[in-house]
Structures are given as C-alpha cells and as structure tokens.
Structure 1
Amino acid sequence: MIANFWQKLYRNGWVTGLVIVLLITFNTLFSAKGATTVEGFESGSKGSYAAADVTLSTGVWNLNDALIGNLAGDAKSGTKSTRIRNSGRATMKFNRTTGAGTVTIKHGKYGSDANTTWQLWCSTNSGSSWSQIGSTVTTSSTTLQTATFTPNISGTVRCEVRKTDGTSNRTNIDDITITDYGTSGGGGGSASVHLTMGNPSSAGTSNLNNYLLDKPQYAVGYNCSLGRPNWVSWQLNNSWLGSTPRQDDFRADTTLPSGCYQVKSTDFSGSGFDRGHMTPSADRTSTVAVNSSTFLMSNMIAQAPDNNQGVWANLENYSRTLVGQGKELHIISGGHGTGGTGSNGTSNTIANGNVTVPNRTWKIIVVLDTPGSGVSGVTTLTRVIAVNIPNAQGVRNDDWRNYRVSVDTLESLTGYDFLSEVPTSIQSVIEAQIDSF
C-alpha cells in the first residue's frame, strides 16, 4: 500500500517537486544562517520606494526609500539590484547566527545621477541598536565597485546599508556577501582573519609563554614570562579606519589565563619606556570599541620613546598611506631579545621584573593589491616589507627604510615561521627578498 502510494506520487511528479522545495528551503536557510550569505536581489520584486518588507533568497529584507531595480540605468551584476534614494535603507530582518567576518558590497551610481555616499551598519541584538562598520563609502561610478568591511562580529548579527548624503541621487547596491566570523573571505584556512598569513609560533592555549589571544580586532601570541606579546598580527584595510578619536584607556587584559601576570597601565610609569602599541590605535578608528581594544596592555611592549614616537610611528603612518591607495595589509610585529635603552638608560626589565624590555622591534607587512583576496592574492611579485629596529634612543629621526631586512632574517632571529599559510614556492621567493620600493 505504502509503496503504491509513493509510486503514484513519483509518477505525478510530486516527489520531485517536494525534493526541489526541500532543497530550495535548505539552501535559503543555510545561506541566511551559516556559511556565506550572498544577496543579489534577483528573487524578489518591489517597484516602489515606499517602505516595505520583501522576501529574498536569504530571508526578509526591509527596503525603505528603496526598490528593486531592473532598468538599463541600474548598476547590477545580474538582472536586478536594489536602488536607494534620499536617506533610504536596505535592512536585514533576519539574524545570522554565525557572525560576520567580512562583508563585501557592490555599489554603483544609477544612470546619470551625481555621486552618493552610504554606510554599513550592523546589530547584535536583533535591530534594537546599531553600530557603524568601517568608514563612509562614496559611490562615483556607474560600473559596480566592491567595498570591503571587516566587522569581525561573533554570534548573532544582522546588517543594513544606509544612504547618507540625503539627496535624490540614487545608489545601486548588489551582491551583499557576508562570511562567518573567523573567516576572511578566502584567506588560507586560519581561524582568524588576523591569522590569514599564518600563526607564526603555532600559539595555542596550552602554553603560557605561547598563549593565543584571538581578539576580533587582532591576534596575539602572548608570553606570560616576559609580560609582553611574542607577536601581534592584524589585518588593515579601509574597513578598519574611520574618524573615532584615540581613547587612551590603557588597561590590563583580564582575558589572560590564570597564572599569567596582568600588566597594568601604571607598570610603565617612570620607567623611561613608552607603552608601545603593536596594533596601532590609528589602525583601528572605525568605532570606539575597536579603538579601545588597542589599549589593552597585552598589545604593548616597552618601547624606547625615540623608537615608538619616531621611526616606528613613521612606518605606521606609511602603512596607512598604502591603505589609502586601496591596498590591504597583513601585519605582524613584536619585540626580540632583552635589554633596551629608554629615556632613563638601559634596562632589562621594568615593573618589578614582570615586564621584559626587548632589544629590537621588528615588523612584517604583506601588501595585497586586492582587499579580501587573502592568501590567494599573494604571488611572487607581492610586496613584503620587513624591518628590524633597535629599541633605543637616538633613532627618532632615522628613516625606517634603513632598517629593512628579509623575512628570512627575521625568521632566523625569532625562530618563528612567518607566512606559513602561503604556498612554499611563493614563500621561498618573497621571504628572501629585501623591500626596495
């Protein structure tokens, strides 16, 4: 009886239809709640600007002062895109439960309209409150361009696009792509976007002197015996930069494991050494919370004032000029050795022996031409800057270029394996070279 029932269903095409419906339903749920969400606005229809919900492939979106356009003047990657005017918004009405690692959005001007501006905002409490992600984007081309943001938000999240110029000029938005927290949109299979190029010391959570602190804003390989990071690694692109002022809220990192001394802000007082950021405050200006994270003492080394405020700061500033040119950087920095010279002379330790002063400060910068390309964007022609600078006075006005070395040299110095996620055939070329730009 049951067999005959299913045979009839199959002959009538009902089973096939049921399977298709189930597959479509699964695909929609999977796209919205996990893996990568990609919304191209192809499956929905909305012909007016009046605020209304519309069901799309990823879930329900609210389009306010926005419609789904399919005219010749609409910039689009398929047959449709959303068109936003005035101060309109395109808002997810559903949550992703796997966070947001990176968000890429294609955008273009409608027809002959003038330039427009817009922002990405995200919410972690189902839309009760929102935070801006990255900086304001200017749309100036009728050809779709891609804007990349790095929310690095874990858990529940939803996002919206807000047009901010308030004019009647229209913006087309298409192919909103959101990856899970802990992924970089194509970067080498590491657990964090900040470890896209690799975990230099294979840091984990079992060794207090090689302890991994995987923060949304950067990653740290921490050494509890030295009271400083072995290394700090971070991604830098335009999505991390905005107008947030420096918070200056230096404080202990209470996430350090039991048995690890928590360096205090006051531990550097009177030492003659600066609380030297590894991930710079100025590399994290998208929001107050993001900037504040850089003032955790686990992100600091005891740095000679002339090093920190002079040659080191100049390299940091140069790095941000590269980002302003559309590059994405993957940066690793740290201190090496024991004994630096600050404004009070040479010291091996400070803070009653709890913080070891490094002898040198080093940094590696991988320059990607295409933001979001990850390891796949690294070739034998990729620019890699590596420096090794004395942690001493007297270097304030030195040119950082005079301290350039190869990555191989820094590997020999530190014992770390840098850029380990890059194919070895490419590593062998770029790690042997000394930058000469």
Structure 2
Amino acid sequence: MRWLLLLVTLPVLGAEIQFDGELHLAGTFKVIVTEVAATSGQATLIVLRTGEVIQVDLRCEGARLESPPIHARRPCDPERDPSLSVELGDTIVAATDLGGGLSTTALVGPREPGVPSLALERWDNVEMEWVPAEEMEPALFRFVLDDRSLDTTCERDSFALPVAIGEEELSLTLVEGAPTSGAFSVEFVVALEPREGALWLQLVTVDGDLLAEVPVEEGTSVVGRRGEEARHARLALLPVALEPAELAIPVCCVGEIRVTTPEGADEVRWWVDGAARSGDLALPLCADAPRSASVVAFVRQGLVWGRAEAAVTFVPRVRLSFVDAATGARPAEPWPCGLEIRIRADEVTGPAPVVMVGKLGPDPRVQELTLAQDATGAFVSAPLRPSDLGACSGDVLWAQFRDPRGCYTAYAILPLR
C-alpha cells in the first residue's frame, strides 16, 4: 500500500509532519506539514486497530500546510467530514509523500474534560429538589460529577469515586446519566444504626443494597474527592448527655444513669460492657461484687441518633469497727469503759463518713462524729472514752453509718467492762 511506502522513504532534511496537539476522543485535530516547497498536497490517515484509511487535502496556511479539522469520533458521535472512527487508546498514523515521504503517529486520548465539577447534594423533601449538602444525616444524598474525560464509550460509562468516612476509605460507583453526556452520579441513603456499643453509618442504595458500613463518632465527615476537587459533609449527630457521667454504687445497691439531653427521645438503647440492656430514659444498675462497667446510651429523635458514655464503679460497702485508740488494733472484749477507743471505717469511696455512736439502752447519749483519713487510707474518729457517753461495765457501745443514698447501714458494737 502507498502509505506503507511513505513510512520508509527518505524525507527531505527539515521537512516534518505532525498533529496540532493532542488527539482527544470526540474532538478534532489537524495534520500539519512544514518545511516543504509545495503549496498543496495530501495526507493519508490510518487507524491501526481497524485499518480505516482516509485522505485529506493539505492547503497552504502561511509558511505551512494544514488539513481541515478531522473528527475523532465514536460510532455514537455525529458524523462529520472528514472523520475517523476511533476508540480510546487507538493509534493514528498520518503520512504524506511531500518532503520525500513523511509520517507520524499519535494516540487517541480521553475527551477534553471541559470544566469538571463535583457536587454533594441532599434531597429536600419540603422543596422537592436537590440542594447542596452541608451536613450528613439520615436522608437521600447523591454525588454528581461532570467530567467529559470519563465518557469513553457509546454506553453509559461508570467511575469509581474515592470516598472517605473518617479514617475509612472506600469508593462509590458513579454511573453516566445518559451515553456521551459526561454527567455521572450515584444516589445513596444515609442511615445510622447503633450496634455493639458503636454507632454505625450505613450507605444504602435506593433499592436497599448496602454500599458501605463504617463506625462513626461526633465530628466524622464524609468526603468525596476527584483530583484536587473535594466535597464533604460533616456527620450530624444528636447531642446526648448522661447524668451522672461517673457513678460509684455500693455492691447490692441500685444506682441510676439518666438521659438528661435531649429532654424527649423517641428511642433509647443502652449497652453495658458491650451487652444490650433494657431501659427508657433511666437505666437502673446493680451488681453483687465490686467491678467497673462502661455504660453507653444511644438516643434517637426522628431519624437522628446520638451517643454518650458514663463510667460506673460498683464499690464495696463501708465496714465499721472499734479499734484501740493507742495501737489501732482490734480491742479485746469486753473493753474497759475508761480507756480510749476510736471508730474506724474501711472501704470508703465517697466523702469522709459521718457516724453515730451511743450506748444500747434507754439513754443512748448519741453523738455524731466525722471521721478523718489517716496515713493508712482508713477513716478514723478522734479518741473517745465510753464513760463520756455514760457507759459503764455491762453496757454495749454501738456505732452506725448510714449510706448517703439510703441503700444500707453499717454497724459495729463493743461490749464494755
């Protein structure tokens, strides 16, 4: 064939054939010949994949020869003359017998992108239209990407959009709305689901298929990115507060964690150490042995969930005893009523305990004593003589501590002589 001969003939020194820039799918290009004496000629163009051949005239434009615009079209693009039927990545050869035989090649690149744009939108059920999304909440959303460079075939093309949810990376498949339009989108429903002590963000197709599921917390953002352009929306969670945020409960006593914010809730789900617990706005708590527990509350208003935590410690009950005021040892019973003693409290987890002390009988002469912490960590009273309470041989001294929550009472007794 004539074009094959042109590729191997020896060109005139300085003569050159070239394309006027990059070749774009669905775009136009020209063939240019320079440094030849002729004022007109022809160029042959071949698509190597298909063998399609066309010839174009070259006309003088200033100091060079140029072809008319040549269309690199797909089967679905409008037919124009002259044109070549191509696909993305095809190799096009341009050759001429001018200048002793010249040739060059070029690859067909993607369509020119135009002005690419990326948008994140939310469906407004009141206005019944798509609006820019600033916050991510349970609703219908979509990413919209306009970029003609991604339109490569005559079918509806697709593009995997990188999306970050907090530290998690995933991709959403955007589909071209119409063939050759260059407009891509994906619609998805955002839902929140409390599970196993965490709040999970779910992206679901409009048909109910799960696209992604990621644990989230306050401040998490959803970010879609195409090149240097990014669109993001911050996750909107319901503000939730628990009272108290830290709670100490004596063993076998009942304490309570309560949701104080928001004032009203459509649903509350409680988790204690990763296990679901039933409860409404208040959660009763009790344990038969000392331990620590983590309490999580998930609260829903409408479709929006929020999360809050509280720390609970189940503590031993306070133990009371009488001790020798001089040695701190357990007193021998019966105890001489003229010798000093102290009242000791162990396993104290709250403020300094206040105890009542008196003697058994019709005239108890009760006194109230506030205990102070000593070097060992125990709480003890000031020295006390039983005789100062009117107690003598044969009487019994008693001490009592009442838990401030009204949960239990601790006792100690000491026979006297």
Compare the two structures and name the one with the higher helix fraction. 1
More strand by proportion, 1 or 2?
2
Q: Same fold (TM over 0.5)?
A: no
Specify the TM-score bucket, using the shorter chain as the normaliser: under 0.3
Higher relative contact order structure (alpha carbons within 8 Å, sequence separation ≥ 6): 1
TM-score of the superposed pair, with normalisation by structure 2 = 0.21
Higher gyration radius (CA)? 2
TM-score using structure 1 length: 0.21
